Amino acid sequence: DTAVSQTPKYLVTQMGNDKSIKCEQNLGHDTMYWYKQDSKKFLKIMFSYNNKELIINETVPNRFSPKSPDKAHLNLHINSLELGDSAVYFCASSQGGQNYGYTFGSGTRLTVV
Amino acid sequence: QKEVEQDPGPLSVPEGAIVSLNCTYSNSAFQYFMWYRQYSRKGPELLMYTYSSGNKEDGRFTAQVDKSSKYISLFIRDSQPSDSATYLCAAQNTGFQKLVFGTGTRLLVSP
């Protein structure tokens, strides 16, 4: 199946832990994104990579560190998790930075307890 | 103030109704406008994409952009229960600029 796939789908962890979320796309896109969706459904961009190069880095705590080993993969590592990090994290991809529509993964629901 | 504003709803309509969903935006540099549909516990999926002002139709869906008033609309004709979802409008500048989303409007279509 061609898609953007994220793992894990659900993540429950304690405050202070470090966790990673992985994302892979097989659409041949060259740009990938991490978005955070809060409890009110607001989607906010966190990072964007084009051909493994960081091109968008919103005001995100430096506990969040993205890594793109190649243009088909974008991972998100979060250190010292806090209660406020609880949200759904979506990975997305597109061809170029342009606006022909992003393809989103199905999300990773992170709950910090 | 958010760059893209949207009434969160919920908007409840009977099956077969015409639905109108709307957004306003503040950044006059936005050139590309999109509507995404998000079902519960799923990722957003692209419904409609429009460049600059004008209308675009795709089946039961029509997207309208009025850049002079910074207003974005999505019309759904003959709404179906399967249209029940959250609808997110989004806007983008040119190039590798971030896609900015509204907060989404929850639509409920009852049989």
Q: Is the pLDDT of residue B60 over 70?
A: yes
Q: Quick one: average pLDDT of B47-69?
A: 93
Residue of B nearest to A56 (CA): B98
CB contact under 8 A, A56 and B98: yes
Q: How confident is the model at residue B93 (pLDDT cuts 50, 70, 90)?
A: confident
| DSSP element (H, E) containing A66 | strand A64-70
Distance from CA of B110 to the nearest CA of A (A): 22
Contacts of A87 in chain B (CB under 8 A): none
Per DSSP, the residues of A21-55 read EEEEE-S--SEEEEEEE-TT--EEEEEEEETTEEE
Pairing relationship of beta strands B85-92 and B105-110 according to DSSP bridges: antiparallel
Interatomic CA distance for residues A19 and B2, integer angstroms: 30
Residue pLDDT, tens place only, A18-77:
999 999 999 999 899 999 999 888 999 999 998 888 988 888 899 999 999 999 999 999
| DSSP element (H, E) containing A56 | strand A53-57
Q: How confident is the model at residue B77 (pLDDT cuts 50, 70, 90)?
A: very high
Tokens matching residue A18 = 């470090």
